[in-house]
């Protein structure tokens, strides 16, 4: 009974645009746990015991919340399902502090990528171009790896139904367009049946795991990371996107109205579903926060005068 109900729930939610990859894993794991006990419906005690098996408080909270949402849906069709209580395992979310690359550090990363072996292969061109593209466009790594030849247009990059199932056109600076074309000239010479822009030595689309491993190697080789004695974040691939967003926001003209319009433009360019996805970058752009704070202070002073 649980598996068919889970299948129906996932189908309905996904038809509305939700991915639910992690939630599906939780639900199917719970179904196996409950079925082993001979249960065919959600039981609160069983859900609590299953969630408690997770190694951290945060993970326990995520597990239980996934069951709660599913149980509310399933209960509408079958009242024998129980909806677990809220906040039994409070979800604890740590705010990640991104590593913001400087222009010099990005140049070092790209120069090191250009030295990747074999020197006479496409590999150094692939990684140098890939990391350059992430740095100058703020693309998600998944979006860059999904690019096909047909997505490279004179107007920019066509990003098709990526995160949040949104498509968008990402304009390129002429210098970025020229750099990408230089890479594509070499890439097209390989031919093959795979039309991914970025491919591996096996002439297939690059896998994220391979890109991540190469990125970590390059970062280690050039010595990027927190200063000795000063703990901080180590660079991730996604931090190239963070860095682009921060630089874009830092270039915003002063003034509340400019900030509001600029943040909206950056949010659209990045493909965020909500402005809140863009606001998280403001904590690393203090002059924008200061401008917004001053505007709020002026407002409240006027309201009380």
**Helix/strand/coil (H/E/C) assignment for every residue in 12-78:** HHHHCCCCCHHHHHHHHHHHHHHHHCCCCCCCHHHHHHHHCCCCCHHHHHHHHHHHHHHHHHHHHHC
Task: Name which residue leads in pLDDT, 99 or 283.
Answer: 99
Q: One of 241, 242, 262, 269 is an active-site residue; which one?
A: 241
Q: For residue 148, indicate whether it is catalytic.
A: no
The token pair at 155 is: 């107007």
Quote the DSSP letter at residue 284: G
Contact 202, 194 (CB under 8 A): no
Give me the catalytic one of 9, 30, 269, 281.
Answer: 281
The CA distance from 170 to 74, in Å, is 41
pLDDT of residue 40: 95
Task: Tell me if residue 274 is catalytic.
Answer: no
Answer yes or no: 140 catalytic: yes
Tokens 């979800």 correspond to what residue?
91
Task: Tell me, yes or no, if 234 is annotated catalytic.
Answer: no
* 3 state DSSP class of 270: helix
- What are the backbone angles phi and psi of residue 157, rounded to the nearest 5°? -95, 130
Is residue 297 helix, strand or coil?
helix
Alpha-carbon gap, residue 34 to 11, rounded angstroms: 21
**One of 63, 140, 187, 196 is an active-site residue; which one?**
140
Stretch 132-136: mean pLDDT, rounded?
A: 96
pLDDT band at 303 (very low <50, low <70, confident <90, very high): very low
**Residue 272 clears pLDDT 60, i.e. is over it:** no
pLDDT at 88: 87
Of the candidates 62, 68, 81, 272, the residue annotated as catalytic is 272
The question of whether 238 is a catalytic residue gets the answer yes
pLDDT higher than 70, residue 91? no
Least-confidence region, from 17-26, 50-59, 291-300: 291-300
* pLDDT tens, position by position, 93-112: 555 678 889 999 999 999 99
DSSP 180-240: HHHHHHHHHHH--S--BSSB-TTSSBPPHHHHHHHHHHHHHHTT-SPPTTS--PPP-THHH
**Short-list 268, 96, 254, 296, CA closest to 285:** 254
Higher pLDDT, 54 or 91: 54
Q: Does the pLDDT of residue 185 top 80, yes or no? A: yes
The whole-angstrom separation of Cα 135 and Cα 144 is: 11
Instruction: Give the start-to-end residue ranges of the domains of the chain.
Output: 2-77, 103-221, 251-304
Per the residue annotation, which of 73, 163, 166, 295 is the catalytic one?
163
Give residue-wise pLDDT tens across range 212-271: 999 999 999 999 876 555 566 689 999 998 888 878 777 766 654 555 565 666 666 666
Quote the CATH superfamily of domain 103-221: Intergrase catalytic core (1.10.443.10)
**CA nearest neighbour of 266 among 258, 257, 276, 278:** 278
The answer to whether residue 187 is catalytic is no
pLDDT in tens, 234-251: 899 999 988 888 787 777
List the catalytic residue out of 168, 238, 260, 295: 238
Residue 80 has pLDDT above 70, yes or no: yes
Burial class for 45, CB neighbours closer than 10 Å (0-12, 13-18, 19+): exposed
Helix axes 238-250, 286-304, angle to 10 degrees: 50
Q: How far apart are CA 56 and CA 29, in angstroms?
A: 17
Q: Mean pLDDT, to the nearest integer, of 138-163?
A: 90
152-153/156-159 β-pairing: antiparallel
Q: Name the DSSP class of 203.
A: S
Per-residue pLDDT, averaged over 112-141, amounts to 95
Q: What is the pTM of this model?
A: 0.65
């Amino acid at each position: 009974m649980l598996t068919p109900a889970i299948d129906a729930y996932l189908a309905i939610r996904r038809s509305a645009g939700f991915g639910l990859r992690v939630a599906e894993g939780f639900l199917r794991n719970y179904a196996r746990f409950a079925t082993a006990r001979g249960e065919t419906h959600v039981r609160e005690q069983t859900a609590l015991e299953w969630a408690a098996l997770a190694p951290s408080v945060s993970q326990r909270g995520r597990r239980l919340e996934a069951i709660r949402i599913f149980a509310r849906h399933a209960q509408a069709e079958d009242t024998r399902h129980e909806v677990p209580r809220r906040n039994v395992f409070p979800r604890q979310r740590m705010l990640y502090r991104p590593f913001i690359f400087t222009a010099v550090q990005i140049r070092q990363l790209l120069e090191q990528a250009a030295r990747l072996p074999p020197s006479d292969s496409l590999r150094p061109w692939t990684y140098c171009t890939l990391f350059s593209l992430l740095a100058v466009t703020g693309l998600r790594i998944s979006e860059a790896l999904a690019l096909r030849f047909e997505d490279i247009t004179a107007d920019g990059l066509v990003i098709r139904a990526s995160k949040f199932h949104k498509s968008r056109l990402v304009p390129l600076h002429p210098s970025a367009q020229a750099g990408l074309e230089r890479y594509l000239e070499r890439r097209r010479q390989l031919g093959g049946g795979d039309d991914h822009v970025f491919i591996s030595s096996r002439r297939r689309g690059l896998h994220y795991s391979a890109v991540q491993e190469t990125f970590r190697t390059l970062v280690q080789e050039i010595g990027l990371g927190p200063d000795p004695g000063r703990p901080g974040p180590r660079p991730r691939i996604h931090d190239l996107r963070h860095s682009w967003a921060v630089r874009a926001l830092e270039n915003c003209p002063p003034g509340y109205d400019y900030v509001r319009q600029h943040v909206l433009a950056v949010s659209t360019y990045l493909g965020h579903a909500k402005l809140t996805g863009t606001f998280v970058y403001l904590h690393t752009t203090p002059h924008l926060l200061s401008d917004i704070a001053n505007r709020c202070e002026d407002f409240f002073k006027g309201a009380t005068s």
